[in-house]
């Protein structure tokens, strides 16, 4: 119905409709998609489309496609192990976190910092803003559907409260962890932690100085020299 309505609106004279109607319909379409996607992931109704990728590459793709003109600062660790994951869905999670961070920033000079790190058998993807922050007692509710913190409710761009619910569903489906750290009037950091030792991550790949290291069950089983 939403698609049909959008087509009908596009056939009308532009002066006869409000751009706000189209924006509202786009928002509603996104809301429905995110709700359905969240429930599919939580109910294991849709298998993940695994491929071996480096999360830094996903971040570069998300930046180039959606945030090429946005004030982003990338601080990405070199030589991260590649992981077996659903690149499209992890990309969607990263995109939503960046979008939330950009919305939280209020000053023209504010930037969003995106960083990656590898430690304790985890790859961490962190997104930090300089916004108004979130009260400690509200953080645990942020991944509930339709919940919005007070700072979001005070803005027209606060959204519907589905974004973090979907992000957590994606992270949970990868056996990962979603962490949210925030201080009022100082900003928020949202971190995706992806384990490198989960069952579907039994194979880890490093590429260093044109040498491929394939590690399975924490043991190096193959070393391949890449020749030009």
Strand segments (E) across the chain: 50-53, 72-75, 83-86, 112-119, 122-128, 177-183, 187-195, 203-208, 211-216, 219-225
**Length reported for the chain:** 228
- Identify the band that residue 117 occupies on the pLDDT scale cut at 50, 70 and 90: very high
What does pTM read for this prediction? Answer: 0.70
Band (pLDDT 50/70/90 cuts) for residue 169 is confident
* CA-closest candidate to residue 150, choices 165, 130, 128, 134: 134
Which pLDDT score is estimated for 163?
A: 76
**Confidence at residue 173, expressed as pLDDT on a 0 to 100 scale:** 87
Any idea which of 39-48, 171-180, 190-199 has the lowest mean pLDDT? 39-48
Q: Give the mean pLDDT of the chain.
A: 76
Supply the pLDDT for residue 213: 53
Split at pLDDT 50, 70, 90, the class of 3 is low
At residue 159, the 3 state secondary structure works out as coil
Is a pLDDT exceeding 50 seen at residue 170? yes
Phi, psi of 202 (to 5 degrees): -65, -20
**Per-residue pLDDT, 75:** 98
Residue 143 — very low, low, confident or very high, per pLDDT cuts 50/70/90? Answer: confident
pLDDT (tens digit per residue) in 38-58: 556 665 556 778 889 999 999
How does pLDDT run across 25-40, given as a tens digit for each residue?
A: 565 565 555 556 655 6
Strands 83-86 and 122-128: unpaired
Residue matched to tokens 């193959």: 222
Task: Give the pLDDT confidence score for residue 140 in this predicted structure.
Answer: 86
Domains identified in the chain and CATH numbers? 1-46 (no CATH), 48-202 (3.30.565.10)
pLDDT at residue 218, rounded to an integer: 47
């Amino acid at each position: 119905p939403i698609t049909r309505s959008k087509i009908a609106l596009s056939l009308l004279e532009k002066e006869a409709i409000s751009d706000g109607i189209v924006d509202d319909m786009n928002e509603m379409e996104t809301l429905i998609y995110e709700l359905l996607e969240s429930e599919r992931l939580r109910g294991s109704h849709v298998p993940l489309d695994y491929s071996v990728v480096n999360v830094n590459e996903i971040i570069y793709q998300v930046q180039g496609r959606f945030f090429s003109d946005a004030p982003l600062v990338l601080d990405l660790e070199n030589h991260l192990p590649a992981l077996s994951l659903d690149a499209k869905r992890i990309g969607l999670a990263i995109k939503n976190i960046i979008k939330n961070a950009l919305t939280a920033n209020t000053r023209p000079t504010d930037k969003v910092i995106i960083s990656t790190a590898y430690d304790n058998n985890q790859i961490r993807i962190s997104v930090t803003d300089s916004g108004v922050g979130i009260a400690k007692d509200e953080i645990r509710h942020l991944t509930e559907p339709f919940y919005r913190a007070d700072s979001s409710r005070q803005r027209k761009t606060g959204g519907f409260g589905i974004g973090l619910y979907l992000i957590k569903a994606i992270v949970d489906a990868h056996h990962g962890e979603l962490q949210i750290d925030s201080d009022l009037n100082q900003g928020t950091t949202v971190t995706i932690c992806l384990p490198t030792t989960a069952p579907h991550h039994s194979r880890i790949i490093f590429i260093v100085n044109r040498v491929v290291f394939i590690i399975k069950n924490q043991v190096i089983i193959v070393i391949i020299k890449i020749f030009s």
